[in-house]
Amino acid sequence: MTTRATQLKRLIGAVTVAATVATVAACGSGDSGDAAADGTVTLEFAQWWGAELPAGDFDKIINDFTAQNPNIKIKLLSAPYASTKQQLVTAAASKTLPDVVGLDGAWVNDFAKQGAIADMSKLMTDANYDSSQLASQIQLDGKTYMIPVVNFVYPLFVNKDLLTKAGVADVPATRSEFLDAAKKVSATGDNVKGWALPLDTAVPNGIQNDVMSWLWASGGSMLTDGKPNLTSPQVKSTVEFVKSLNDAGVIAPGSLTMKEQDKVEKFTNGQVGMMIDSLAHINLIKKNKPDLNFEVAALPAEDGYTGKRGIPYASWGIGISNSTKHKAEAFKFVSYLMSQETNAKLSTIANGFPGNKNAEPDFSNSDPLFKSAFDIYKQGYPANEFVGLPKAEDLMRSFDEQLQLVLTGKQSVDDALSKSQESWTAPVHRRGARPRRQR
């Protein structure tokens, strides 16, 4: 799956992984038993979020819920991402998940097919919950299994000084403007290029973040009715555009073995004028290069496109164990996290964007670029069709391999898309979960 928007913080607390794994294993029993004699229900909530947030902030949000709902207690099972994933994958297979679980979209398909996570569409109906307030839902066969709570988006980063030096007055808003700007930046010399494209097949998330993002920015889709449709005119146009950038010589060298961190390093060092990247890297870039004059913008769309623009994202998702005896109470907790006020607070402390469309983070203590990115986010919609697909990383890798043959002149775009379509429609890759965006 993609390098998550908060992966840089996942190393924090790594020394406690062994102890935390043991704790989650001991507590994740699949249900919390019957209610106490006084009617109090205890919900176990396993996630990696608490390990990535400032100390005490997440606890306060949880305590506010229990103060409002004294009959429900929350037992936090917090661990770094890697150990949380390890434990939840094991627990899902044995149907012993804690009552409420933090989810990565890459896990949803397997967990749902194993019967480990509950259909939240039914829980929303039972609770008379207004799902129109949700920015997106991750569904399989029309049923919601994960709700993105906080989203971490990937806008266009632009080195303003390089564009100015190249004579580019405005940030590109269309594909043709982007190509023109990339050509002009590349023509300035000093080994500077207009764009960076990481395509290392060992970590193939460049297909998601740097290639398909062009498709989603123009309202396109790589799926039809949840199944791959890689030979569509929209996907072909996207790949042809990436090829045109390569043919024009505006992509930073070493693209075929470049990883995401290499892309960020090149941008930080002023070697590329533009890149598509996670907001999580804003503070890192400014720490390493305080004088770098850059801004964030919406991804350029296909010329003539006037609709809403999709923006790539990673998210903290949430789901409910299918084996918990307390689904109603668990969904009450989920609905609290997704409420306008709470979701705004959580997204603020996480430097992410709300899963509730009506919530707005407090940017008063944040870098102004986060506010700029939020304005972009509100004007479009979160788009990542790899979320929930089975074997998502394998799908990216197979597409990556075919794209590399296109960029090295060894096959046509049509052949690459046909071969990718054939690979993606193998039985193991069919019927993936898919995001349902709210208009």
Q: Supply the pLDDT for residue 212.
A: 98
- Average pLDDT estimate for 318-324: 97
* Same-fold call for 7-151+313-380 versus 156-311+389-437: yes
Task: Determine the Cα–Cα distance for residues 277 and 93; give it in Å rounded to an integer.
Answer: 34
> Under a CB-based contact definition with an 8 Å cutoff, are residues 225 and 385 in contact?
no
Please tell me which residue, 174 or 106, carries the higher pLDDT value: 174
- pLDDT > 90? residue 85: no
Q: Which of 154, 150, 177 has its CA nearest to residue 166?
A: 177
Task: Determine the Cα–Cα distance for residues 9 and 19; give it in Å rounded to an integer.
Answer: 19
Q: Supply the pLDDT for residue 434.
A: 53
pLDDT digit string, tens, across residues 385-422: 988 788 888 899 999 999 999 999 999 999 999 999 99
Decide which of 3.60.21.10, 3.30.2130.30, 3.50.50.60, 3.40.190.10 is the CATH code for 7-151+313-380. 3.40.190.10
Mean pLDDT of all residues belonging to the chain: 88
Q: How confident is the model at residue 82 (pLDDT cuts 50, 70, 90)?
A: confident
pLDDT digit string, tens, across residues 133-145: 998 899 988 999 9
80: amino acid identity, one letter = P
Q: Supply the pLDDT for residue 10.
A: 41
- Identify the H or E element spanning 311: strand 310-311
18 by Cβ neighbours in 10 Å (0-12 / 13-18 / 19+) ranks as exposed
- Average pLDDT estimate for 360-368: 88
User: For strand 353-354 and strand 143-153, is the pairing parallel, antiparallel, or unpaired?
Assistant: antiparallel
3-state DSSP of 337-401: HCCHHHHHHHHHHHCCEECECCCCCCCCCCCHHHHHHHHHHHHCEECCCCCCCCCHHHHHHHHHH
Fold of the domain built from segment(s) 156-311+389-437: D-Maltodextrin-Binding Protein; domain 2 (3.40.190)
Query: 87-101, 174-188, 346-360, 376-390: which has the minimum mean pLDDT?
Result: 376-390
Tokens, residue 81: 């991402």
Domain boundaries, the chain: 7-151+313-380, 156-311+389-437
pLDDT digit string, tens, across residues 9-38: 343 333 333 334 444 444 444 444 556 777
Query: 121-130, 275-284, 424-433: which has the minimum mean pLDDT?
Result: 424-433
60 by Cβ neighbours in 10 Å (0-12 / 13-18 / 19+) ranks as exposed
3-class secondary structure, 434: strand
pLDDT digit string, tens, across residues 38-76: 789 999 999 999 888 877 889 999 999 999 999 999 999
